[in-house]
């Protein structure tokens, strides 16, 4: 049986990008694998959240995980900060991670550009912490979206380096996973190629957005002035609307608007109205469940405790063995 590990940073409620890139796969994988899904609250410290925001965001992600159908009896659901073994493994991995390779990571370069006043060591070593998350359970598969591909490559580098350095075959090589298909990248509503929390107002649709908010965001989505010749290549913003439709509308709906576009008859207003209704129908069950679970603090507490215990069992075994391999031997 494969071991599967993945996590999501708590920056608020999850959006459709998180869902299609990661969470949907978590749910599909939990039945047939040994799964560990966590909330990456250590990672979110790289952007300096306030204590109240941090706690609130962790709670939102936990509720979204459960509302989307993660089953804490099947998968191990836990908070990254409940597993200090991860921090210890991160320390070990950092001893064999080099400045040059860390500085070349695209996500580091992007962050250094977008938060020039806060280029902290946590940002630089983000990939070693992520590698620690994954190999602490000696994972084989990591369900993630396309933007995490480079981090997974780094994880393999660090895992292999550890094995080579100590002449062991201890860590498996984990791979980014999406059921044998290409990793996905869900675009934003503002014409940009990625839906993301930090991409700006109106870019993302969150699982807890209500119907009116969804309608407003989608009706304001960027479009162009329309095709002027049959089968004209699509501009990025239009490509994005089609991509969202492909992700969650019926195939007939997508085919209809493709045909309209290719014959220069498309009315973007109608297309967006249809997309908005499809998104509302798709997310309705999440909203209902979020309301139901969100008010049950007792249940949330139980889930966190159960996850902490199960995750700890696996992580403490790894850390014990890693310490031995490195040479920290008991007297
Ligand atoms: P994060 O929190 O930015 O995103 C969480 C997951 O959602 C996916 N995702 C997307 N997929 C498709 N289209 C999008 N627009 C989109 N936006 C986000 C991401 O690919 C990711 O799978 N570093 C990670 C969290 C992390 C982690 C780990 C993941 C920490 N440790 C260990 C896997 C394993 C991150 O910041 O993801």
In the predicted model, what is the mean pLDDT of residues 283-289?
A: 96
- Of the residues 111, 141, 217, 272, only one is catalytic, namely 111
Q: Per the structure block, which two tokens stand in for 96? A: 């064999």
| Residues 277, 135 share a domain | no
Q: HSE (CB half, 13 Å, CA atoms) of 127?
A: 28
Q: Which domain holds residue 253?
A: 197-291
Distance (Å) from CA 296 to ligand 1 centroid: 27
What's the pLDDT tens digit per position in 304-315? 999 999 999 999
For the packed helices 149-166 and 106-114, what is the interaxial angle rounded to 10 degrees?
120
Q: Helix, strand or coil for residue 70? A: coil
* Ligand 1 atom nearest to CA at 197: 17
Distance CA 188, CA 205 (A): 9
pLDDT of residue 330: 84
- Of the residues 74, 146, 185, 197, only one is catalytic, namely 197
pLDDT of residue 197: 85
Whether residue 191 lies inside any domain: the answer is no
Q: Helix, strand or coil for residue 292? A: helix
Mean pLDDT, rounded, of the chain = 96
- The percent of residues in the chain predicted with pLDDT above 90, rounded, is 96
pLDDT score of 275 more than 80 = yes
Burial class (CB in 10 A: 0-12, 13-18, 19+), 31: exposed
| Residues 257, 177 share a domain | no
pLDDT of residue 291: 95
| Residues 204, 115 share a domain | no
Whether residue 227 lies inside any domain: the answer is yes
Q: Residue 199: pLDDT band by 50, 70, 90 thresholds?
A: confident
Distance CA 24, CA 63 (A): 15
Q: Helix, strand or coil for residue 140? A: coil
pLDDT score of 165 more than 90 = yes
In the predicted model, what is the mean pLDDT of residues 155-167?
A: 98
| Residues 169, 33 share a domain | yes
Q: Kind and range of the H or E element at 129?
A: helix 126-135
Smallest Cα–Cα separation from 130: which of 93, 101, 184, 165? Answer: 93
What total number of domains does the chain contain? 2
Whether residue 275 lies inside any domain: the answer is yes
Residue 202 and residue 217 in contact, taking contact as beta carbons nearer than 8 Å = yes
| Residues 303, 255 share a domain | no
Check if 194 is active-site.
Answer: yes
What is the domain-level CATH number for residue 204? 1.10.240.10
Whether residue 317 lies inside any domain: the answer is yes
Q: Helix, strand or coil for residue 270? A: helix
pLDDT of residue 137: 98
pLDDT of residue 110: 94
User: What pTM, to 2 d.p., does this model score?
Assistant: 0.96
Q: Residue 180: pLDDT band by 50, 70, 90 thresholds?
A: confident
């Amino acid at each position: 049986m494969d071991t599967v590990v993945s996590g999501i940073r708590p920056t608020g409620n999850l959006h459709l990008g998180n869902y299609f890139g990661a969470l949907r796969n978590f749910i599909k994988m939990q039945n047939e694998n040994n799964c560990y899904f966590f909330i990456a609250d250590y990672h979110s410290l790289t952007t300096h959240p306030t204590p109240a925001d941090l706690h609130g965001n962790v709670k939102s992600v936990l509720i979204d995980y459960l509302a989307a159908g993660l089953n804490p009896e099947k998968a191990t659901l836990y908070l990254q900060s409940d597993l200090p073994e991860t921090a210890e493994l991160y320390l070990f991995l950092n001893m064999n991670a080099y400045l040059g390779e860390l500085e070349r990571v695209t996500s580091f370069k992007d962050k250094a550009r977008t938060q020039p006043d806060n280029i902290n060591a946590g940002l630089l070593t983000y990939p070693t912490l992520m590698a620690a998350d994954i190999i602490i359970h000696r994972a084989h598969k990591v369900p993630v979206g396309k933007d995490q591909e480079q981090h997974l490559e780094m994880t393999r580098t660090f895992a292999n380096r550890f094995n080579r350095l100590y002449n062991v075959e201890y860590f498996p090589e984990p791979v980014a996973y999406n059921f044998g298909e290409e990793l996905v990248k869900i675009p934003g509503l503002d014409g940009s190629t990625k839906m993301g929390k930090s991409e700006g107002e109106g870019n993302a649709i969150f699982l807890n957005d209500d119907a009116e908010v969804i309608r407003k965001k989608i009706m304001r989505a960027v479009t162009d002035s329309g095709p002027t010749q049959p089968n004209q290549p699509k501009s990025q913003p239009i490509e994005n609307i089609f991509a969202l439709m492909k992700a969650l509308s019926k195939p007939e709906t997508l085919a209809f608007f493709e045909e309209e576009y290719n014959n220069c008859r498309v009315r973007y207003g109608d297309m967006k109205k249809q997309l908005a209704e499809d998104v509302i129908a798709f997310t309705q069950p999440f909203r209902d469940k979020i309301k139901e679970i969100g008010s049950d603090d007792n249940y949330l507490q139980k889930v966190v405790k159960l996850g902490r215990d199960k995750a700890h069992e696996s992580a403490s075994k790894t850390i014990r063995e890693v310490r031995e391999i490195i040479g920290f031997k008991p007297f």
